Copies of this chain bind each other. A is one copy, B any other.
Amino acid sequence: MSGIAKTPQPPYYAVIFTSERTSGDHGYGKMADKMVELAATQPGFLGIESSDRDQDGLGITVSYWESLEAVRNWKEHSMHKVAQEKGKTVWYQRFGLRVCKVERDNFFEM
C-alpha cells in the first residue's frame, strides 16, 4: 500500500486528509492500519498515499476514488464512522479534509 498510487486516467476523485495529532498513541496506529486495509476493499477505491509524520508534525493522507458516490460510501461505512468519532474525541488536535476532482495528472520515473 505504500508509494505513489497507480491511478487510472483522470477524471477521478481525491480526498486530501491533513491532520495534527494529539500526543500519545491511544490505539491510533492500529486503527489507522485497519482503516487503510478496509478502505482498500471498498467499491471504487483506486489507491492511497500516506506520508510519515514526525513528532508534532503534519500528517497527510490522500485516498483516490472512482466517483463521488464511492467517496460518500466510504465516509458512511460503519467501521469508518467509529474511527471518525474517535478521531474527533481522542486522536486529532485538528484536521482538514478536502474532496477534489482530479482533472489531470503527470508521473515521472527516473
Contacts and interface: CB of A to CB of B under 8 A. Distances in A.
Q: Give chain A's interface secondary structure class.
A: strand
Contact of A18 (B19, B62, B99): B62
Contact of A110 (B22, B103, B108): B22
Interface residues of A, number: 43
Interface string A74-110: 0000000000000010001111111111111111111
A10 B53 CA distance: 27
State how many copies of this chain the complex holds: 2
B97 A100 contact: no
Contact of A4 (B3, B49, B95): B95
Contacts of A101: 100-101, 103
